[in-house]
């Protein structure tokens, strides 16, 4: 399998180079040159086996299949549920797909546990080391740290805004005791952290000296790993082409829902998708009103969806443009300048309307929804998941009797305040994390200044 850039001018690469590169050199995102059909899964017995089979055509012959299967086994053995990503029924024809049984309690673990192992494997084959740098508002940082904490060939440095993550999120990062894990509490906000990361990548001498790499949500391997649970959910529900599943997806960067769209292209029996947003509703405005214009980010009770530009949408845009990279690059250049993206009405009618519905919910509606689901099913759900079930309810998506599945993207105990406000119940952390408030934290306060952060990274990575 070869990979092409959505902006058309970067060199074609194989899987391992795409994995390590993250972004293409023309600023685009890598996608496979074709969408392969789903393999026959009739003999598959476990999630890890399904994962190895579904992803095999994307990896090609770059990693021996036995090795790749073992990496999948190891990655999904870290989940605390035998089904890895299990379904739970919450209503007639209505299910939750629980994606939070991994080490850090959010859906990011599903992709990142595999990504860490893929990085370590490829780097050791090549005799290379990298320093992964990332900025986080909470979930990605802890999931990335957990994924690479035992990797011999990876150092990781995560920047987070001091005082602006939840206590659980911060402690999941600062209590990990591994010599290759480093965190910096930046005296600024999340955008400052992201700007510092970008500036470090743009400093070519620093980038090459430190061997900088990234595992953010535009990395193709993350999108790839997320295809699997759409396929296994359809299988568990015995879905058929005539009675395909509707998936409701709490959406920020458009990575999770894009993976579902790919599963559908590969032949999974999926009817359509509901894109659920919080007040940061750029994707909902686009799907409902063909208005893709960036606004300022509003903080909400579902912080992992507080995003104003959904970067993974670029991969769908490339398809809408019949894989014309030059046209995609030009549209994105205009989007950056004008702050809005225009897509022709006939393209929307062909690509968007038949496959996507959307709805948005503010904090009050989200909290009310947590209460409604608790009262109707006894399930506690987190505020991200609540936007998804609220959209199912608002659009009356179970009306035609198809199975409707909301992706439960985080464990309720990761966002306890909203859950307690809604239900009066303080959700408890799973056992492996029950002592997180007793563990020793290592907090490194760093000023919001490029030179200071670079000095921190250099010292942290060379010290051990
Ligand atoms: C990252 C995240 C999302 C958003 O997923 P995207 O792939 O960015 O659309 C939703 N919910 C939770 C809990 C997350 O961590």
User: Ligand 1 in contact with 156 (CB < 6 A)?
Assistant: no
Distance CA 121, CA 146 (A): 16
pLDDT at 164: 83
99 Cα–ligand 1 center, Å: 11
List pLDDT tens digits, range 373-415: 999 999 999 999 999 999 999 999 999 899 999 999 999 999 9
Q: Which of the pair, 368 or 194, is modelled with greater confidence? A: 368
391 Cα–ligand 1 center, Å: 16
pLDDT at 306: 87
pLDDT at 152: 92
64 Cα–ligand 1 center, Å: 31
Residue 309 has pLDDT above 90, yes or no: no
90 Cα–ligand 1 center, Å: 21
CB-based burial label for 40 (10 Å; 0-12, 13-18, 19+): exposed
Of residues 311, 314, 336, 332, the one with CA closest to residue 323: 314
**Residues noted as catalytic:** 108
The answer to whether 157 and 184 are in contact (CB under 8 A) is: yes
Atom of ligand 1 nearest to the CA of 307: 8
Atom of ligand 1 nearest to the CA of 254: 9
Phi, psi for 233 (deg, rounded to 5): -65, -45
The answer to whether 130 and 213 are in contact (CB under 8 A) is: yes
List pLDDT tens digits, range 208-225: 999 999 888 889 999 999
List pLDDT tens digits, range 42-99: 999 999 999 999 999 999 999 999 999 999 999 999 999 999 999 999 999 999 999 9
CA-closest residue to ligand 1 atom 14: 304
User: Ligand 1 in contact with 409 (CB < 6 A)?
Assistant: yes
The answer to whether 299 and 307 are in contact (CB under 8 A) is: no
Distance CA 195, CA 250 (A): 26
User: Ligand 1 in contact with 254 (CB < 6 A)?
Assistant: yes
User: Ligand 1 in contact with 253 (CB < 6 A)?
Assistant: yes
256 Cα–ligand 1 center, Å: 7
User: Ligand 1 in contact with 169 (CB < 6 A)?
Assistant: no
Atom of ligand 1 nearest to the CA of 385: 11
253 Cα–ligand 1 center, Å: 7
Domains of the chain (ranges; CATH) run: 87-105+221-423 (3.40.50.1100)
Atom of ligand 1 nearest to the CA of 256: 7
Report CA Rg, the chain: 21
User: Ligand 1 in contact with 315 (CB < 6 A)?
Assistant: no
Distance CA 165, CA 159 (A): 11
Residue 189 has pLDDT above 90, yes or no: no
pTM for the model: 0.95
State which of 256, 387, 389 you would mutate to test the pocket of ligand 1, scoring each by most atoms of that ligand within 8 A of its C-beta. 256
The answer to whether 29 and 222 are in contact (CB under 8 A) is: no
């Amino acid at each position: 399998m070869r990979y092409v850039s959505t902006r058309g001018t970067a060199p074609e690469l194989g899987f391992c180079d795409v994995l390590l590169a993250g972004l293409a050199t023309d600023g685009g995102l890598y996608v496979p040159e074709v969408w392969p059909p789903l393999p026959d899964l009739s003999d598959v017995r476990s999630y890890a086996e399904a994962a190895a089979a579904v992803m095999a055509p994307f990896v090609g012959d770059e990693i021996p299949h036995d090795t790749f299967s073992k990496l999948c086994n190891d990655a999904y053995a870290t989940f605390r549920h035998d089904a890895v990503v299990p379904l739970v029924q919450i209503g007639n024809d209505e299910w939750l797909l629980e994606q939070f049984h991994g080490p850090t309690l959010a859906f990011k673990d599903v992709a990142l546990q595999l990504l860490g192992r893929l990085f370590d494997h490829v780097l050791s084959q090549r005799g290379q080391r990298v320093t992964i740098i990332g900025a986080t508002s909470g979930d990605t940082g802890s999931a990335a740290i957990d994924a690479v904490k035992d990797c011999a060939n990876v150092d990781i440095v995560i920047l987070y805004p001091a005082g602006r993550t939840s206590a659980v999120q911060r402690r999941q990062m600062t209590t990990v005791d591994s010599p290759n894990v480093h965190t910096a509490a930046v005296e600024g906000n999340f955008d400052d952290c992201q700007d510092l990361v970008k500036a470090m990548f743009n400093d070519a001498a620093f980038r090459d000296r430190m061997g900088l790499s990234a595992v953010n949500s535009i990395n193709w391997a993350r999108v790839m790993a997320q295809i699997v649970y759409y396929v296994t959910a359809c299988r568990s529900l015995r879905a058929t082409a005539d009675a395909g599943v509707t998936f409701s997806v709490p959406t920020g960067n458009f990575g999770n829902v894009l993976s579902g769209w790919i599963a559908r292209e590969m032949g999974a029996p999926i009817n359509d998708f509901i894109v659920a947003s919080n007040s940061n509703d750029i994707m909902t405005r686009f799907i409902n009103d063909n208005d893709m214009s960036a606004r300022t980010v509003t903080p909400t009770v579902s912080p992992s969806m507080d995003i104003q530009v959904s970067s993974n949408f670029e991969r769908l845009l490339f398809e809408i443009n019949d894989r014309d990279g030059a046209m995609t690059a030009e549209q994105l250049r205009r989007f950056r300048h004008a702050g809005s993206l225009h897509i022709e009405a006939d393209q929307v009618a062909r690509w968007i309307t038949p496959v996507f519905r959307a709805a948005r919910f503010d904090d009050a509606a989200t909290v009310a929804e947590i209460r409604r689901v608790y009262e109707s099913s006894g399930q506690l759900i987190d505020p991200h998941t609540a936007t998804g079930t609220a959209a199912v309810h608002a659009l009356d998506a179970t009306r035609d009797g198809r199975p409707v599945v909301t992706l439960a993207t985080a464990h309720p105990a990761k966002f306890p305040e909203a859950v307690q406000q809604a239900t009066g119940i303080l959700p408890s952390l799973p056992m492996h994390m029950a002592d997180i408030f007793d563990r020793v934290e290592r907090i490194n306060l760093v000023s919001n200044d490029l030179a200071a952060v670079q000095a921190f990274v250099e010292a942290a990575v060379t010290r051990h």
